[in-house]
Structure 1
Amino acid sequence: MQHEEAWARYFLSFESLLTKAAVAFATAGLALASLIGLYQIIARFVLHRSAEWSEPLIQMTLIWMTYLGLAAAMRSGTLISVDWLLSLSKGRARQVIQIVILVCVLTLLGFLTWFGISLAMRVKFQTIAGLGISTSWAYAALPFGAVISIFAAIAHVIDPRSNIDHQTQNT
């Protein structure tokens, strides 16, 4: 029993660092996209210059921000859940529902990982206009975010933090 608790503690520590880093990068991505958007407006309307690189960079930054931020939603259990069923269930039924939800989420994230890798490999010789970098860099956000989210989804089952979990445990 102590071995399982130690393993869970190490896993949760690793996942916490991973998710916090993902959220920090997602937040930085939002800030970066905002600053690039501001520059784009200033360049176009004040400086009367074209910033052709800004639009694809904003898009790529927002894609990465979304998939990195997915980990935070998975960790809190707010992305894919059946709150109504969880609120009605207790004990063993609740555990079964949580496992079914986890299996569904892990299946989805597994498909995202597999499809994201496949997609990134297919477009590796294409370049993003205005940036001159491989399109794979944009599509790599799918498997990268999905793998981080797998850790977060498992951590949510081991140590739930969502409001619905705390409400039903206290009643």
Structure 2
Amino acid sequence: APASITYQLVNYVGIAGSYDSGRDLVSLPSPTAWTGYYRSNYNGIIVSVDTLNNRPVRLKDVTDGTTNTFVVGEQSEYRVRTDGVKEDKRACNHDGGAWSGGAGGSTDWWLNMTVIRSPINAKNANNGQEQAYYRHTLLTSPHKGGAQFAMADGSVQFVSDNVNYGILTRLCDKGDGQPLGEF
């Protein structure tokens, strides 16, 4: 019989952007790709390199500043549904684990990246969070009151569950040009 393979899943996820533009919190970021796995936005730092965004993000592309932009967010706890059931929906928890994805185009699934659509540790499930390979997996943490984030400048910040959703969105958008306020 073939040997079984065990691999470690990661507890952090790359921030591919925010669901809405940080500029006005209602319009779509550009470019945007709609797929069967929900909307992919490219306004973050860790993005899929494909036909819409054919190059990796460079530091000069982070016009909001590296101290004001998330690169990686914590995703280390089970998603808790409103009925109290816990589910492991981390963005790395699919075939191949953290280091695999679809064929690389805008219509394929990808792992270990998320587009932020809900508050930290949200208990509600919007479209795009139901499967580990969908685009909008939740930021989750067992830490009481918030989650850890790595910023583009290399620093780590603990961000409260209660952070204003507009500020959270702007922290995920590398070039919205909007002030943050306290977070």
Q: TM-score, normalised by structure 1?
A: 0.25
The structure where strand makes up a greater share of residues is 2
More helix by share: 1
Q: Computing the radius of gyration over CA atoms, which structure comes out larger, 1 or 2?
A: 1
TM-score using structure 2 length:
0.24
